[in-house]
Structure formats: structure tokens, C-alpha cells
Amino acid sequence: MTSWSDGYVTEIGYTHGYYRELAPSLQRFALLSAGFAPPRQQNYLELGFGQGLSACIHAAAAPCRVWATDFNPTQAFNAQDLMDEAGLDGTLLDDSFAELLARGDLPEFDHIGAHGIWTWVSDESRHQIVDIFDRHLSIGGIAYLSYNTLPGWGSSMPLRHLMCLHADLAGAPAQGIPRKVEEAIAYANRLSSLGAGYFTTHPEVRERLERMPALERNYVAHEYFNRNWEPMHFADFANWLATARLDYATSAHIFDHADEVNLSPDAQAMVRETGHEILRETLRDYFVNRYFRRDIFQRGRRRLSALEQNSLLQATRFGLQIPPADVSMTITCAVGEVGLQETIYRPLLQALAADGYKVKTLLELRGLLPQLQPVQVWQALRILVGLGHVFPGQDAAAAEQVRDRCKRLNRALCRRARFSPDFVFLASPELGAGIAVPRIEQLFLGARDDGHKTPDDWAQAAWSVMLGQAFRVRKDDRTLETPEENVAELKRLAGEFAEKRLPMLQGLGIA
């Protein structure tokens, strides 16, 4: 444990995740959907950026000036390297929250985001985060924070206690974190297999433990083995932010906006009857047994009139991130399995894909779907955003402003795909956000960028990269071993990519 880390796991780097909830375009949509006026989009700050992929993607794709800090210098160096290679002019720092507060050169920020931080830091750091909001959020500015919450985590807290205790008392410092993690998981598993009452009383905890070996070790180390780990009730969290004069606005997880798929009709009635918004939100957490919240708080909430809300939403553009044929018409959610109404969703998906997946405003979509009621289009679109199939974009002028920056970042990411499996997202200028693009597709895009013309050529180029490393194609749960098998499958994948996914990536300005 290093002295600057305040008990934070530093020995093992964090995963290279991208979090859509940090995107200014998604946060703007979340506020509009909930009926609140969005902030300006000039300056943006991310706290504790991890490997910095989200910060780099937003520095490229969002029309704001991005600042970001993480006190882990190795991670800051990785992120800086990517930012430099892409020629982006965001400001990446390796300041701790305390050091950030002491700086005299910070502007006012319209968005401050901290994904996966709050639960895993000390009370002192939490006070510093709130101070940063207090001093540096603009009027109308928003704070986005995600955190572990209750009641969802309640029954698993003793599991985390046991594993940390084992790592502390039975693990030797020289073992290193990865080994301590393995041994702590094995120890808990042994206890569970001996029928310990805790595990038999809480079968969901046993399932959580059984899923652990399949999770990335970096994630498990950071999730469970920090000195600080405090899941928090929503009401307690709201009290913390109230000291910086911030009010709860809405969830950045858009699926939470649709009570109809999260709550039974009786549960919806109980929520509606509950007058106080903090109690109402708490009820929702209890109904779905929520364990993770993604909240947007705002400094000064301005409720929009229905007319204003409708006009801002109508002008918002939306982009499809999945070929329509791949969208399942059945979803599993808190109320069980729900079928999506095909007569609404199929034509809406077709309209989104029409004209080479061009991003379209809600008004344009309504125009393309005269057979549907405007409210049906809106409700279905919001569910599709919640499912992650559709993303709310930014306006055309902003997309134009960031197009070259996104191109440079995507080129750098596709180049990294030659050496690393870590960066599986690319930046979309139309959406102002990142979308998932698997490593093999990034190799195809890289080959295409290098002038290779046909899918067969992209497959050969990808194979020439894979040949020199232990990277092989997987098919039907099997790793293909021979060059012939790999090339044949790569050619099939490249053909399918050219037909199904490339048009979509072109529509989103990525290819």
C-alpha cells in the first residue's frame, strides 16, 4: 500500500471501462426526460478517471473543455499517453481531490462526474468531493455520481468483510493483491461449501461468490478489497450533497425513468402516493432491491413546462447502436419478462436505421412514423435508450466541431487494438459519446483506414496482427487453433461486419 493512496488499491490497475452515464449528451437527455433544464456545456470535470478512457472519449467527442484527475500516477500516465497520441487538448492531472481543491486555476464546471468513486473512498475524500462541487459547479451545473447502495448490498456486506479480513490477517504483504484476492475467494467458497448458515440463509450471496471467478481480477480487487467501502442509502447520500446546495434531479441510468418496466402497477401506485421525493426514490430502491445508483444532482433545478420539455426533446437527435435485427423483443426486468410491442418497436428501429443510420431528431422520427402516436414513439425511444440500444446525440453543429478529434482518437484506439485487448470503445461525434466496438472490429477498421479495400483484405490484415501473439478467434465457445480456421472465420466475421455493423458505425461518424 502506498502512502498517497489513503487505503485505495493501487497495486493493480483499474479496468479500461467506458461509462456512458458520464457523457454530457446522455446527462442532458436524462434531465430533459425528467423535466429539468439542462446546464450549459462548456467545462467538464471527471474525478478519479481510472484508466481515463471515458475522459479521453469525452475530450474528443463532447463539445466541452475536459478536465480530469486521478491520483494514481501510472493510470494518469496511461491516459495522458492516449490523449497525446490523439492530439486532444483536455487537461489530465494526477492530483488527489485535496490537491485539486488547492489549485487556483480551475474554471467553473457545468458537469462534474465521479463514476465508481464515492463508495470506495474515505469520509475525508467524500468531504473533498462535496467541496469541489460546492466551489466549482456552475449555476445549473450537474454532479453525477455512482455508488453502491442499500438495500441491494445489505446481505453481501459480511461477505466483503470476511474476504478483506482474510486478506489482512492470513495474506502476507509479499503475496501481492492478486494472490490475496484468489485466496480470499477460495476461503469464502470453502466456508460456503461447508453449508455455513450465512450462505444458506442468503443464497443470493452464494451466487455472487460463485460469479466472482469469472470477473476481471482488477475489478474484484477494486470492488471488494479497498480499505474503504461504504454502500449508502439514497437519503444519506442526498444529505451529503445538500451541504453543497445540490438537489436530486434524476437517474443517469435511463431505464430507471420508466416505472412501468421496473414496478408492478400496485408498486407504481404506492410510489405515486408518496409525497416526498426522497422517500419516493427510497421506495423505488426497496422495490427493485437496488444495489447501484447512478444519480444526477443539480445546483438549482429548473422545472421545464411541458411545452418547453417537448420542444427541447423534439430537437434532440438519437442514434441507433445495434442493427435492428439484433434487438430482442423480450426484455427481462424487475417486473419479470416483458414483451416489447412489435408494432411500435419494429418500425421505430427501422426508422432509426433508415438513411444509413443517420442520427435523427425525435421530430424527424415522429414524421417517419405517422401511424404511431407521438407519445408511443417517445416512450419506446426512452426504453430503447434505457436498454442501451439507442443513444441521445448532440446537435449537428457540435458533431461537426468534434469530428476530426474523434477521428484522431479512434485511429489511436484502433492502433492500440493491435497490441492490447483493453480498449473496446470508439468515440462517436454524432453522439458525443463512446460506443462498444470489439477488438476484432477495431482491427478491421484499422486495416480499412490503412487502405485495405475488401473484407477479405481486412481479415488478412487482422490475421497478420494476431499471428505474432496469443490472440485467436473464438467460435462456438472454442478457441480456433490453426491459421486456416482463423483466417476462414475472420473472413466470415469481416463480411458480416461490412454488411451489418459498418453502415451503423458510418452513420455514427465512427468509420
Q: Which three cell numbers stand for residue 150?
A: 442499500
Should residue 116 be labelled a site residue for ligand SAM when binding is judged by CB under 6 A?
yes
Site size for ligand SAM (CB under 6 A)? 22
Should residue 8 be labelled a site residue for ligand SAM when binding is judged by CB under 6 A?
yes
In the list 36, 49, 144, 225, the residue contacting ligand SAM (rule: CB under 6 A) is: 49
* Closest CB to ligand SAM among residues 62, 502: 62
Alpha carbon distance 271, 282 (integer Å): 9
Should residue 57 be labelled a site residue for ligand SAM when binding is judged by CB under 6 A?
no
In the list 83, 92, 121, 426, the residue contacting ligand SAM (rule: CB under 6 A) is: 121
Angle in degrees, CA 74, 79, 82, rounded to 5: 130
Least CB distance to ligand SAM at residue 225 (A): 11
Should residue 75 be labelled a site residue for ligand SAM when binding is judged by CB under 6 A?
yes
Least CB distance to ligand SAM at residue 97 (A): 4
Should residue 444 be labelled a site residue for ligand SAM when binding is judged by CB under 6 A?
no
* Closest CB to ligand SAM among residues 223, 489: 223
Least CB distance to ligand SAM at residue 7 (A): 9
Segment near ligand SAM (CB under 6 A); pick from 112-120, 195-203, 324-332, 475-483? 112-120
- Specify the DSSP element, H or E, that contains 206: helix 203-211
Residue of 237, 30, 63, 219 whose CA lies nearest to 133:
237
* Closest CB to ligand SAM among residues 38, 48: 48
The angle, 0 to 180 degrees and rounded to 10, between the axes of the packed helices 455-467 and 483-496 is: 140
- Which residue's entry shows cell 490497475? 13
- Going from the C-alpha of 146 to that of each of 227, 241, 245, 253, 384, the distances in angstroms are 19, 13, 19, 10, 21
Alpha carbon distance 225, 163 (integer Å): 8
* β-sheet bridge partners, residue 114: 145
* Closest CB to ligand SAM among residues 47, 494: 47
* Closest CB to ligand SAM among residues 57, 283: 57
Residue 337, Ramachandran bin (φ over 0: left; ψ between -120 and 50: alpha; else beta): beta
Least CB distance to ligand SAM at residue 508 (A): 23
Residue of 153, 171, 47 whose CA lies nearest to 109:
47
Q: Which residues from 177-236 bind ligand SAM, rule CB under 6 A?
A: 222
Specify the 3-state DSSP secondary structure of 217. helix
- The DSSP 8-state label assigned to residue 36 in this structure reads B
In the list 67, 109, 120, 458, the residue contacting ligand SAM (rule: CB under 6 A) is: 120
Segment near ligand SAM (CB under 6 A); pick from 11-19, 189-197, 269-277, 433-441? 11-19
Should residue 125 be labelled a site residue for ligand SAM when binding is judged by CB under 6 A?
yes
For 122, how many CA atoms within 13 A lie in the half-sphere containing its CB?
Answer: 13
Least CB distance to ligand SAM at residue 70 (A): 5
CA dihedral sign of residues 10, 13, 15, 20: positive
Should residue 17 be labelled a site residue for ligand SAM when binding is judged by CB under 6 A?
yes
Segment near ligand SAM (CB under 6 A); pick from 6-14, 230-238, 242-250, 467-475? 6-14
In the list 48, 393, 429, 455, the residue contacting ligand SAM (rule: CB under 6 A) is: 48
Should residue 117 be labelled a site residue for ligand SAM when binding is judged by CB under 6 A?
yes
- Going from the C-alpha of 54 to that of each of 12, 130, 141, 270, 453, the distances in angstroms are 19, 22, 19, 38, 31
Identity of the amino acid at 481: E
Alpha carbon distance 467, 233 (integer Å): 51
Should residue 70 be labelled a site residue for ligand SAM when binding is judged by CB under 6 A?
yes
Q: Using an 8 Å Cβ cutoff, are 455 and 82 in contact? A: no
Count of CB atoms situated within 10 Å of the CB of 205: 20
The residues that touch ligand SAM, with contacts defined as CB under 6 A, are 6, 8, 14, 17, 19, 48-50, 69-72, 75, 96-97, 115-117, 120-121, 125, 222
